[in-house]
Chains A and B, each alone.
Chain A
Amino acid sequence: MTNAGETDTSHVDPVTSLLSGDLVERLRQLEIFCRERVEGRRAGDNRSPLTGSSPDFLQHRPYFPGDDPRRLDWRVLARTDKSVIRQYEEVTNLEMTVIVDRSGSMGYAGRSLSKHEYAVRCAAILMYLMFQQKDDFALILFGKDAAERCPAGGTRLRLRRAFEKLIASQPAGETHFDACFRQVESRVTRRGIVVVLSDFMDDPQKLARTMGRLRLRGHDVIALQVFDPTECELEFVDFTRFRDLEDGELIGVDPLLIRDEYRRQFQQHTETLRAQCLAQGIDFAALSVGDDYEAAMSQYLRHRQAILR
């Protein structure tokens, strides 16, 4: 028995509630690549910055005492009388951390889904793709309070848990990007893909710098901005009081007086964010809630796939 307004997830499969069977079939055609070397927990298909025991030869290096004599390249020793060690490339699995913004501003709903619902569905697609690739995935929901994390893993159970957390999450409160990303930095230690799903309603330069810190740690950072098309337009005629979804403050303004400037500033905000992210080596994409999330994600991933290949 649940209270009114709460989502009852006991009888609904969270996977099927977020991803239909048709969608799952279509997602099989997509893949997620990482631009950088990754540090997975298990053996996989992705190159690691470490040397390992894979069949792929990497390099020779001089022998130092203490090295395992079994790794000596005897042929080189025989021909050149130099003791060198054969090193092989490490291949590991990919770990993706999906960071979803659940601040109050994500609760804005225009004509269809709210930005949060849209972000949840996009996150679900990404995690399912990782599950399908036998890679690991982790989920971090951040908002005003400390980030809530779903540990990394690649099992169906993990996927189910992650989906449950996504479904149960409700947007509320203010956003503190900097504090939350410091937590993320401390927890996400292995190199991998970090996907940030947010509306990024903050200073673009500050946001880019914050995400840039993850990039410096070797993560492949993807910033996906979720916005509602009605937010861009300010299509009001009468004097309106806008209630801030994060702090509840009322801002009274005549939309007619600022509409053009608002549109320009909104556009400029997006463009600045895009430019700053690119400057930091962060992949950036803006997702409109008005578009179909599956199509939008497919288009983005194919685009990324084409670039990396």
Chain B
Amino acid sequence: MRFLAPNALYFLVLAAIPIILYLLFRRRKNEVSWGATYVLRQVIASRRSRTLWKQIVVITLRTLLLAVLAAAFARPFLSHSKDAAGASNSGFPHGMGTLHRVIIIDNSLSMNARHGTVSRMDAARQTVSGLLAGTRPGDVCQMISLCPPNPGATIAASAVNCPLPADAALERAAEIATISTPPDFPGALRAAVEAFRDNAAASRQLVLITDLARCDHPSIADYEIFGTLLSELQVKVVTLGLYSHDAINLAIEDVTAGTELLLAGQPTNISVRVMNNSESGAAATGGTQDGHLQFLVDGVVQAESPCILPGGTRKAFVFPVTLAAGPHRLEARLNDDAYAPDNRVERFLRAEKALRVLLVVPDDEKGEGFEREGAFLQRALAATSAGNTSDSPAPQARFEFKVETVKRSSLAPYAFDNHDVAVFCGISNLPADQSGALASFVRRGGGVLLSAGPGIDAMEFNRTFGKLLPLGPGNEAALAAPFRADFNEEKYLSIRPTEIGAPLLREFEGAENGDLSLARIYNHYCFHAAAEPSNERANASESGARKSEILLSLSNGDPLLLGGTFGKGRVFLWTSSLGGAWNSLPVHQPFVPFVFRLLNLAGGFHAPPRNVKPGEPLILDASGTSGSTGAAGPLFVTTPDARLIETSRVAVGSRSFARFEQTGVPGNYEFQDSSSHSLGSFSVAMPLSESDLRPLENDEMRNFRAALKTPIVSSADELKTALRGEGEGDEQAGWFIFAVLAMLLFDALLTRIWFA
């Protein structure tokens, strides 16, 4: 015997009412002077024991009556035996009438986590098959996936034919696959409520099968309305929580060089960021002692490192590589843990032999030697070709900058098209057509490096480049004035080379590769104090087109190097002179490699990205890949789930591109032509949120239970027990009410016989 509404058992205290009333009744001061007390005493003496017995009987009867009434409100439920008619083949309870059962199954990627030999999704599929097989003719069974097929898509319930044979149920459950779109729990609950509203049945069950991952439930309070609606619809909600607090998961968050384009033969640091998503308390003993990180380039192990991280922490491992020209596959691997998909991350990048640099200098460049920025930069960048020596690791692949120096007056609008990076040295303004061409160049992925040396006019500069300028520390987008009005060699600032955001420049954080802090910065441009943003800037900010970061700061906190995005390209602003007019950096050893890295960073976005996030399109520059099938031949994409999908080329001017948008599944995608020749590989990153296997915290778990009014069970057996409340067996409330009425009549009878 169980109670479906055990809270009503609190009314059992009401059963004490007759006893309390009896005691209070005795305490009442209803006092009468009486003359015939002799007779009264005789009566009491002769009937004392009999009267007491009758009182006890009546009070017990009334107490029992109220107790049974309270128990009736608690909906007593008597389970049938296993052989009873309500039992189903699967063992899941069914109930005596028709059943409407909706199953919400969590198909997020975190369901791929394994506990022992069985993954969460395997356990979910097994439970789902049991639930599907437990239906009968006339029942309604529907399934809802927690993750929509596309981000933002509406979740709908899919019907299952009832009854479903066991083998068909297994097949149906096996069709459930994890996808990378983020879970939409409110959407799934909304679909469940609508499904219940559309169907009538004797009993209703909603089974939630989820791992209750912390990241999937940002706002549990939003579920309360659904909990209320489901209660109103008299739906029994049971949650099967497939989680473990002891799950240990090391996840590789990223493998990156900060850009997808590297310079061939140039030693570069590759950063592999690893996160331990285990509970922080379990980390010390959480098996991270066996963590082992491997770094591979093109399938060849380059480095290995033990990986021991406390729970809830992350660490960046840096591996230096020198790549030959051509496409490369970077890979980082961790040994197996609870969640395997994030233990292996692949990234694609390419190493170029040459970077095309357009150097724009003033018509009348002043100064001598290092003070002439354009001439100095041209000479510094030309050193790459001169630096090709026999002791280089790959001399034949050593990169070079192909620098084209153009005076401002000679700059043609189309001059940007054949270059990867444009460097403006001391240029204050450009004609409108050139300015527009420059913006178009950056928007398509080009890189721009602007320097604000002594020869510029701040107002003209802002007018020309203001739209492109990276935002300053207070989100300003305009230069104000030089920090000092006059040059004074006794007054200078130094660079604070710490916490550099861009991975490619991170080698300059310390003094190992040359100490930037030794350079003296005599002057630089400051930004306007925080001002009202212009409409253009506001629109740009709202569209998210301009994301800026300060890459280098001065000792007084002013930014020295800012980087920002504009369209697909990158814009960098050097607030001092690139030559020696305002600083002594050009005469220091790290200057040349720093400029190389900076230009490398700026020019790395000219080609479409090969490493994208789920849902972002894959764009392949198919120019020159016609091969045997011709320029208009079909292309095919091999997806991570082993599907081959045809896609077509799109001609843009003289070039052609292929675009593929079905990137919901994380992993590697490969473009092929009709002869299965690989045209390019892309990587779709695993959503990092799914690596966090930690379940809801205790408070959140309690809120979840309360919001949806659901018990959370941890196994299929417990799920059967929990569902049995609305399933096998009968409510006995009717019999209890009958017993109450019978006792009421009996009480009236006794009262009439004994006391009337």
Give chain B residues whose Cβ lies under 8 Å from the Cβ of A262: 39-40, 43
Q: Is the CB of B54 within 8 A of A257?
A: yes
Q: A107-B35, A257-B51, A257-B54 are in contact. Are A241 and B29 (CB under 8 A)?
A: yes
Between A and B, 7 residue pairs with Cβ closer than 8 Å are A231-B36, A244-B37, A254-B51, A254-B755, A258-B43, A258-B51, A265-B42
- The verdict on A108 contacting B33 (CB below 8 Å), with A252-B26, A266-B39 known, is yes
Stretch of A13-21, A216-224, A232-240 contacting B (4+ beta carbons < 8 Å): A232-240
B677 beta carbon closer than 8 Å to chain A: no
Whether A240 lies near B30 (C-beta < 8 A) is yes
Q: At the interface, yes or no: B754 with Cβ under 8 Å from chain A? A: yes
Inside 8 A of A158's CB, which chain B residues have their CB? none
Q: How far does the Cβ of A263 sit from chain B's closest Cβ, in whole Å? A: 9
Q: Determine if B35 and A228 form an interchain contact, defined as CB atoms under 8 angstroms apart.
A: yes
Query: Would you call A241 and B39 a contact (CB within 8 A)?
Result: no
Chain A residues bordering chain B, tally (CB within 8 A) = 36
Q: Determine if B35 and A238 form an interchain contact, defined as CB atoms under 8 angstroms apart.
A: no
Do B37 and A201 touch (CB < 8 A)? yes
- C-alpha spacing A251/B35, complex, angstroms: 12
- Residue contact A239 to B33, C-beta cutoff 8 Å: no
Kindly supply a per-residue 1/0 record for chain B positions 30-57, scoring 1 wherever the CB is within 8 Å of any chain A CB and 0 otherwise.
Answer: 1111111111111110110001001100
Asked whether, in the complex, the Cβ of A257 is within 8 Å of the Cβ of B33, the reply is no
What is the interface of chain B, defined by CB distance below 8 A to chain A?
Answer: 25-26, 28-44, 46-47, 51, 54-55, 754-756
Top 10 nearest A-B pairs by Cβ distance?
Answer: A108-B35, A256-B755, A242-B34, A201-B38, A244-B37, A105-B35, A231-B36, A241-B31, A257-B51, A262-B43
For chain A residues 237-277, which have a beta carbon within 8 Å of chain B?
Answer: 238-246, 249-254, 256-259, 261-262, 265-266, 269
What's the nearest-Cβ distance from chain B to residue A307, in Å?
30
Within the complex, what minimum Cβ distance (angstroms) separates B51 from chain A? 5
B31 A238 Cβ-Cβ under 8 A: no
Our pick among A231, A239, A246 for the contact of B30 (Cβ within 8 Å) is A239
CA distance A245 to B25 in the complex (A): 23
Knowing A239-B28, A239-B30, A241-B30, the reply to whether A258 touches B35 (Cβ < 8 A) is no
Say which residue of A106, A107, A201, A249 sits within 8 Å of B39 (CB atoms).
A201
Structural contact, A269 and B39, CB atoms closer than 8 A: yes
Q: Does A115 contact B (CB under 8 A)?
A: yes
**Binary B-proximity of A101-115 (CB < 8 A = 1, otherwise 0):** 000011110000001
| In contact, B32 and A242 (Cβ under 8 angstroms) | yes
Q: In the complex, which residues of chain A have a beta carbon less than 8 angstroms from the beta carbon of B32? A: 236, 240-243
Give the interface SS of chain B, mostly helix, strand, loop or mixed: helix
Chain A binding surface SS class: mixed
Instruction: Knowing A238-B25, A241-B31, A257-B54, say if A265 contacts B37 (CB, 8 Å).
Output: no
Write out the residue numbers on chain B whose beta carbons fall within 8 Å of the beta carbon of A254.
Answer: 25, 51, 55, 755
CA distance A254 to B56 in the complex (A): 13
Known: A201-B36, A269-B42. 19 other contacts (CB 8 A): A105-B37, A231-B36, A242-B32, A242-B37, A242-B40, A243-B31, A243-B34, A244-B37, A245-B34, A245-B35, A251-B44, A254-B55, A257-B47, A257-B754, A261-B43, A261-B46, A261-B47, A265-B46, A266-B39
Give bound CA distance, A251 to B26, whole Å. 12
Nearest Cβ on chain A to B60's Cβ, whole angstroms = 16
Q: Is the pair A258, B25 in contact by a Cβ cutoff of 8 Å?
A: no
In the complex, the answer to whether A257 meets B35 with C-beta atoms within 8 Å is no
Q: Are B31 and A266 in contact (CB under 8 A)?
A: no
Task: Report how far A269 CA is from B32 CA in the complex, Å.
Answer: 22
In the complex the two chains form, what is the Cα distance from A107 to B754 in whole Å?
Answer: 32
CB neighbours (8 Å) of B43 from chain A are: 258, 261-262, 265
Q: Max chain A CB contacts within 10 Å: which of B32, B37, B755?
A: B37
Contacting residues, chain B, for A228 (C-beta < 8 A): 35
Residues of A within 8 A of B36 (CB): 105, 108, 199, 201, 227, 231, 266
**CB of A202 closer than 8 Å to a CB of B:** yes
The reply to whether B38 and A202 contact each other, CB–CB distance below 8 Å, is yes
B34 engages A108 (CB within 8 Å): yes
| B58 closest partner in A (C-beta) | A257
Contacts of B37 in A (CB 8 A): 105, 201, 242, 244-246, 249, 251
> A274 to chain B: closest CB distance in Å?
15
**Residues of B close to A265: CB separation below 8 A:** 39, 42-43, 46
Note all chain A residues with C-beta closer than 8 A to B55.
254, 257
- CB distance A106 to B29 under 8 Å? no
A243→B37 CA distance, assembly (Å): 8
> Taking CB as reference atom, which chain A residue is nearest B754?
A257
Within the complex, the shortest CB–CB distance from B612 to chain A, in Å, comes to: 87
* A202 CA to B37 CA, complexed, in Å: 10
In the complex, A173 Cα to B34 Cα: how many Å? 13
